[in-house]
Amino acid sequence: MKNPEKGMTVIVKTITRLTVGLILLYGIYIVLHGHVSPGGGFAGGVIIALSFIHLMLAFGKEVALKKLSLAAASILESLGAIMFLTIALLGFIGGYFFLNFFPHKGEPFELFSAGIIPICNIAICLKVGAGLFAIFAVLILFRGKDENGSL
Amino acid sequence: MEVFSEYILCFILFCIGLYCVLRRRNIIKIVIGLGIIEYAVNLFFVLVGYKEHGRAPILAKGQVVSPMVDPIPQALVLTSIVIGLAITALIVAIAVRIFEKYGTFDITKIRRLKG
Amino acid sequence: MILPFFVVIPLGAAFLISIFGKRIKNFGDILANLGTLSLLAVSLYSIKLVSVHKILVYKIGGWVPPIGICLVLDGLTSFMLVTVSLVSFLVSIYSINYMERYTDKHRFYTLFMLMLAGMNGIIVTGDLFNLFVFLEIASIASYALVAFGTEAEELEASFKYAIMGSVASSFILLGIALLYSFTSTLNMADISRVLSAKPPGMLVNFIAVMFLAGFGLKAALVPFHAWLPDAHPSAPASISAMLSGILIKTLGVYALVRVLFNILGITQGYLTVLMFLGALSLIVAVILALSQWDLKRLLAYHSISQIGYVVLGIGLGTPLGILGGLFHLFNHSVFKSLLFLNSGAIDYAAGTRDLKETGGLAKIMPVTYKTNLVASMSIAGIPPFNGFFSKLIIIIACIEKGHIGYGICAVIGSILTLASFMKVQKYAFGGELKERFRNIKEVPVMMRLSMLILAAICVLGGFMLLPHLKPFLQSAVDVLLSGNGYKDAVFGALK
């Protein structure tokens, strides 16, 4: 995070250093509480992707790609989808596809309740977050081929 | 007959989006028109679930149960927004590559396939 | 039971190929072909299930409909599943050799399996919004597959296809929103039950027009056909075979007839509109096809025309008409895929698709020549190939109902189709062998194998009307004829 020519001005870079971690934390909060309050996998995934994109916009694409490379994003995305499918297939233990097979469903409005829904939320968050970041990175990278250097 | 002003607004928004897709010459404006069409349809779907004096369909601990608006259209619209995002990403990627191959964003000049 | 596996197997294969396809060599080929082969086996097993049980309903997650989503297996479902699995298996065998010419073969297999998962999902589902989601999955995968070669013309065709397809999907979503506001449920059988209890009004007609516009664009009926002659030639040949062979039938014709016949309840007005659009597609497309010199563009126009036959047959509403329409749907999948695979073989060997430049390929590519001859005779309706039987049934059903004009349209369309394909045979295979084609060889063995199997089905297809094998078609026809009886069957199977 030391390259003063690339990316945006010093003010933006300072604020980004302060807020990127908070945005990531907020996104994780929305994903984990998806079954109690509004939000869930997709909204949380978008916010997590936004934190990485914020990093890319403020500092230039090399810094962001060092944190999460494109190959890693691609693998995370497919991993999220396969996790979701595995959870759905495990429902066959109970007899039906996609069954909520946890025996103790917990109290309503608690964090550990509602069976498989939080785990599905995490899988969706992985897929959406990695996917959005990969889309943005590829579009930026594609344009970056004509002009060398910054965005 | 009641005045369905919110549904008429959605319909006007849909027509504006359709006009954009049909009559604009720049590729990016066509993509924006497609986005407006998707907004209009999603808005219509959410408004379908409205009930008189309903509140947001969220139940917290220890809250008194009162009439709520319909939560099913909200879940369906969430799915539809995700689908719209995927389509927009794909079409923008195709548009960027078209600019690289043809050199222009004008749709009247991108007409190599005819007949 | 087996119903969720129709969606799970292609989805799992798609994402596994996406992770491991680049590292392990040939992983994509093996997994994709295994996947489609297992789908074919399971769909053939489903015919046996339907003949025993008549209708099977699977509740996802154990939630009882109308609260939950259900998957329904009845006669029409198993018919479409067999068609889709057969063509996709043969196309995936063909792609082992054909897609070597393109880069990123594992991404091709990922998109291919995603498209297949979407199509299977549309066929088995019993819930209206679930149908919309799977329709979008299949459509987006096909937009990406049309642009796979990333040449200038392919990108332009894919852009046009994507914009028109998205607008059509918005119309379908608007129709679903209106239907939900009227009936406050999304399950297909439940909507049918509510609609038959309430008095029908103008809203149901408006919803039917929305669905006709949306699904009609996906099926390439005539006022909505403008994307097809650009999109289908630009795709790689195996994808053209999939698009023309099964995608327009699943996303367009199957969804349209499922919604119009079983949910909204068919009336004479809808049938008249379907018949008119079918006959219009027949005539307009086959006239436009006569002047094409690009081989795949000619085949794409003929796709529009043959879908006109299918819609005309189904629009008649009589048992014989619907039998003819559905039989023609199966036949068209087989011979149109074969024709596109042949054009891919010509492209692979000779490097060009323009009919003015090829010639005299009959001696050096014997397998391609003979299978093309079989497919051309099938599509033109020459006995004893399968196209003859289905077209004959449609024409007899037209005259039996009294619409002599539509019958004459069908006959004229058939004659003009024969004219176009005699032109293809003459210019591609007859005549003198040009100098630069002297060294080309026949295509590799996997491509030949899939073309030969499809040609064999073309020859034997007429046997499907024998009394032993006729229940396969007849159960599909009965589902459409029962119309609103769909809801009684589904609710009966739920208890």
pLDDT for the residue B45: 92
C392 contacts C434 by C-beta, under 8 angstroms:
no
- A contact chains, 3+ CB pairs < 8 A: B, C
Mean pLDDT of chain A, nearest integer: 81
Burial C120-134, CB ≥16 within 10 A → b, else e:
bbbbbbbbbbbbbbb
**For residue range B35-74, what is the model confidence (pLDDT) as tens digits?**
999 999 999 999 988 888 778 877 777 777 788 888 889 8
Domain of residue C23, residue span:
5-494
| Domain count of the fold of chain B | 1
- Bond from prior residue into B73 cis (ω within 30 degrees of 0): no
Q: Does the pLDDT at position B2 exceed 80? A: no
**For residue range C435-482, what is the model confidence (pLDDT) as tens digits?**
777 777 777 888 888 888 888 888 888 787 777 778 888 888 888 888
pLDDT for the residue A2: 52
| Set of chain C residues whose Cβ sits within 8 Å of the Cβ of B86 | 140
Q: At what angle do helices B27-48 and B5-23 cross, to 10 degrees?
A: 160
| Domain count of the fold of chain C | 1
Q: Report if residue B54 sits inside a domain.
A: no
Rounded Cα distance between A104 and A126, Å, is 26
Domain of residue B113, residue span:
26-49+70-115
pLDDT for the residue C253: 92
pLDDT for the residue A148: 43
Q: Report if residue B60 sits inside a domain.
A: no
Tokens of B61: 């601990």
pLDDT for the residue A150: 39
B residues 30-89 near C, CB within 8 Å? 30, 34, 37-38, 41, 44-45, 48, 72-73, 76, 79-80, 83, 86-87
* Averaged pLDDT, A107-133: 83
| Set of chain B residues whose Cβ sits within 8 Å of the Cβ of C170 | 14, 37-38, 41
What share of residues in chain A are helix, strand, coil (percent, to 5)?
Answer: 65, 0, 35
Q: How many residues does chain C have?
A: 495
Q: Does the pLDDT at position A27 exceed 80? A: yes
**For residue range C295-314, what is the model confidence (pLDDT) as tens digits?**
889 999 999 999 999 999 99
* Averaged pLDDT, B2-15: 87
What are the sequence ranges of the domains in chain A? 10-144
State the virtual CA torsion across C137, C139, C144, C148 in degrees, nearest 10: 120
pTM attached to this predicted model: 0.93
Cβ contact, residue pair A82, C4, below 8 Å: no
Residues of chain C predicted below pLDDT 70: none
Tell me which residue in B48, B90, B110 faces C177 most closely, judged by beta carbons. Answer: B48
* Averaged pLDDT, A40-58: 90
**Residue A149 pLDDT grade (very low, low, confident, very high; cuts 50, 70, 90):** very low
Any bridge partners for residue B106, and if so which? B26
Q: Does the pLDDT at position A3 exceed 60? A: no
Q: How far is A128 from chain B (nearest CA, A)?
A: 9
Q: Does the pLDDT at position A147 exceed 50? A: no
**For residue range A123-133, what is the model confidence (pLDDT) as tens digits?**
999 999 999 99
- B contact chains, 3+ CB pairs < 8 A: A, C
Nearest to B80 by CA among C137, A80, C258: C137
Tokens of C211: 């669905």
Q: Does the pLDDT at position A105 exceed 70? A: no
Q: Does the pLDDT at position A106 exceed 80? A: no
pLDDT for the residue A29: 92
* Averaged pLDDT, B4-30: 91
- CA diameter of chain B: 68
Backbone phi and psi for residue C381, each to the nearest 5 degrees, phi listed first: 90, 45
Tokens of C308: 């006109």
